[in-house]
Amino acid sequence: MQTASSDTVRKSATAEDGKPDNGEPAIDIQNVTKSFGPQKVLDGITFQVRRGETLAFLGRSGTGKSVLLRIIVGLQTPDTGAAIILGKNMAEASADEISAVRKQMGFLFQHAALYDSLTVVENVAFPLAHHRPDMSDAEKKELVEGLMEEVGLENYLNKMPSDISGGMQKRVGLARALALDPVILLLDEPTAGLDPISSGEIDELILKLQDQHKLASIVVTHDMISAKTIATRIAIMNQGKVLIEGSYDDLQHSDEKFVSQFLHRDL
Ligand SMILES: Nc1ncnc2c1ncn2[C@@H]1O[C@H](COP(=O)(O)OP(=O)(O)O)[C@@H](O)[C@H]1O
Ligand SMILES: [Mg+2]
């Protein structure tokens, strides 16, 4: 059990914060299939993620990892099976329900797009402008500056995205993903394109944020070291299926040839 006494714990993980933490999975993916024309991209995917857990997905390019994240967000619908997010079946939910669920999700998409014409701090504040009309400008400023501090960018508030490094841009993306204080965090290749040192720093940051916010997280990555660092469980995907899901140790004991290839290539 993790204690809640640390001053870094920003919010309670109990029902007090109004967020579901009843032991039910925040993300419940049930036998999802998805094809594009003749191409079956997802072929019966099932898994759950609860608050406090991080599931990493590894797999070759084109195995449907990003499609899976888009199904979770409700941007695409499964052909069969269901994506139940915070208790809502995303394919059957009303627009209002989907919008309410999305507010509880932070995402850092692949090629995390920051708005080029906005400063770093304006990028982080962007979701608040749309979703938190109840907050005063002073409250928003305090929240955003707190997030910038959390990701270690308190001295870069007014820089433009093009003036900071790739690793810093990812940090801004993470701060923006957390602006609405989500329950779920979805990260699509958060360390892609970064040098190993910056990747390690982003991994450390993700670990810290997951712990502080008690998130249910999914991380798509090519990087086994990163998966080992930040994930509670790792799922390896191939040809639309999850070949194995388990701890890093479980994977090491797998007889599956593809799994050992994946493990040994990246280490
Ligand atoms: N909207 C779409 N229409 C047609 N094909 C798609 C669409 N989205 C993804 N695909 C195809 O699905 C496959 C999986 O894509 P993706 O999920 O992006 O893979 P990755 O595992 O690299 O993230 C790819 O072959 C891609 O071309
Ligand atoms: Mg992808």
Token code pair at residue 113? 């797009």
pLDDT tens digits, one per residue of 211-244: 898 999 999 998 888 999 999 999 999 989 999 9
Ligand 1 contact, 60 CB (< 6 A): no
* Helix extents (H) in 151-223: 166-177, 196-213
What is the residue-averaged pLDDT of the chain?
88
pLDDT at 4 over 50: no
Residue 240 and residue 42 in contact, taking contact as beta carbons nearer than 8 Å: yes
* Helix extents (H) in 104-182: 120-131, 137-150, 166-177
Ligand 1 contact, 41 CB (< 6 A): yes
What is the strand order of the sheet 39-49 is part of?
39-49, 27-36, 80-85, 88-89
Ligand 1 contact, 240 CB (< 6 A): no
Ligand 1 contact, 182 CB (< 6 A): no
Ligand 1 contact, 66 CB (< 6 A): yes
pLDDT tens digits, one per residue of 176-185: 999 999 999 9
What's residue 265's pLDDT?
Answer: 65
Return d(Cα 60, Cα 47) in angstroms, integer: 19
For 152, which DSSP code?
A: T
Q: Please give the average per-residue pLDDT across 85-91, as a whole number.
A: 95
Strands (E), the chain: 27-36, 39-49, 54-59, 80-85, 88-89, 105-108, 184-188, 216-220, 233-238, 241-246
Distance 134 CA to ligand 2 centre (A): 35
Nearest CA owner, ligand 1 atom 9:
67
Distance 57 CA to ligand 2 centre (A): 10
Residue 95 CB contacts under 8 Å (≥ 6 apart), including other chains: none
pLDDT tens digits, one per residue of 40-64: 999 999 999 999 999 999 998 899 9
What's residue 102's pLDDT?
Answer: 93
pLDDT at 195 over 70: yes
Query: By three-state DSSP, how is residue 148 classified?
Result: helix
Could you tell which of 35, 36, 57, 70 is best to mutate to test the pocket of ligand 1, judged by most ligand atoms within 8 Å of the CB?
36
Which residue's structure tokens are 């900071």? 164
Count how many Cα atoms sit within 13 Å of the Cα of residue 95 in the half-sphere of its side chain: 0
Query: By three-state DSSP, how is residue 150 classified?
Result: helix
Identify any residues that bridge with 57 across adjacent strands, giving them in sequence order.
220, 235
Sign for the pseudo-dihedral over CA of 42, 207, 146, 104: positive
pTM: 0.88
- Higher-confidence residue of 9 and 224: namely 224
pLDDT > 70: percent of the chain: 90
Return d(Cα 16, Cα 132) in angstroms, integer: 20
Residue 78 and residue 42 in contact, taking contact as beta carbons nearer than 8 Å: yes
Token code pair at residue 259? 């799994």
Could you tell which of 43, 58, 67 is best to mutate to test the pocket of ligand 1, judged by most ligand atoms within 8 Å of the CB?
67
